[in-house]
Structure 1
Amino acid sequence: MKKFIKTPFLLVALFVMLLAQSCVETDDLVTPNVASPVLILLDGSSFSSTSSVSVNSMTYELDKTNILDHTLGIDSIPVSNLNLEVYIETTTKVASLTTDTNGSADLEITWGELGIDEPTSGTQVRLEFAGSYKDIAFRKYHTVTVE
């Protein structure tokens, strides 16, 4: 008889605990997801060990005014005079760039400046292009590889 009473009691207790856990309210995310204010297109990802690293960036603001009109669509407007900082390992700043009137900025840097004294084939470095546009910070990641 005791075994018959214990089983339903345990099942009810388990159900109540699960129900209580599913009703926990949480605050908003600690770091809210915000869409990047700019589109950054990066070109250049594989370089020989004897050459320098050359990455071209094109920065655009996306005008979504006509997003619902399929004949017009989204317009890409180059962002000029935008300061970009290039980092490796998230905190080590290796370069500062400024976009020109076409939204373009070129990074020319050596493997040594990227922390690789003896580049060998397959070695990779993750670059982080960071900046702020209209008071919204953004970061774009790009990997360069030794051929």
Structure 2
Amino acid sequence: MKKSFSYILVVLVAVSFASCKVEDPFVDRVVAPVLVDIVGAAFGAPISAEPTVSYPTTGSVTLTARLLELDKTNILDHTKGIDSIPVANIPMKITLRSGASLGEVTSNAQGVVSLEKTWAELGYLPQRQGPW
């Protein structure tokens, strides 16, 4: 009896460890049928780290991304393989991590979405230069 209780306890502990899920530290992941490729970011940035893009410190900022879906038509043909094709007419709401909305955009025929904002609209005010 004592031996079977030990086996049951070991199985329950193993099942409880197997059910643990590691959360992504960068963003809340939601299953999406499309790939969002941030234009100007390093390849693989949405998967491996936060995508970073350099912008000029004056004027406006244009946030641009491409929306792609996988075309699996030739998945069994090793000479062609899977291809990424642009997705048109996908509405998106772009928000900051704080939840503040920057705007809503819809992808064009090439699967590109763009949003142009000034630094002030993004919450960054220019710093004064020169003598005070």
For normalisation by structure 2, the TM-score amounts to 0.62
**Could you say what the CA RMSD is over the residues aligned between the two structures, in angstroms?**
3.4
Pairwise CA distance, 1:86: 0.8
Q: Give percent identity, aligned residues only.
A: 37
Partner of 1:118: 126
Q: Which stretches of structure 1, 4 residues or longer, exceed 6 Å deviation after superposition?
A: none
Pairwise CA distance, 1:19: 7.1
Partner of 2:12: 23
Partner of 1:132: none
Partner of 1:62: 70
Partner of 1:38: 34
**Where do residues 1-147 of structure 1 align in structure 2 (5 Å cutoff)?**
16=6, 20=9, 22-24=11-13, 25=15, 35-44=31-40, 45-118=53-126
Contiguous gaps of at least 5 residues in structure 1: 1-15, 121-147
How far, CA to CA, are the matches of 2:107 and 2:86 in structure 1? 9
**CA distance change for structure 1 residues 90 and 66 in 2, over 3 Å: closer, same or farther?**
farther
Between structures 1 and 2, the one with greater strand share: 1
Q: Which has the higher contact order (CA 8 A, sep 6+)?
A: 1
Structure number with greater Rg is 1
Residue-pair matches, total: 104
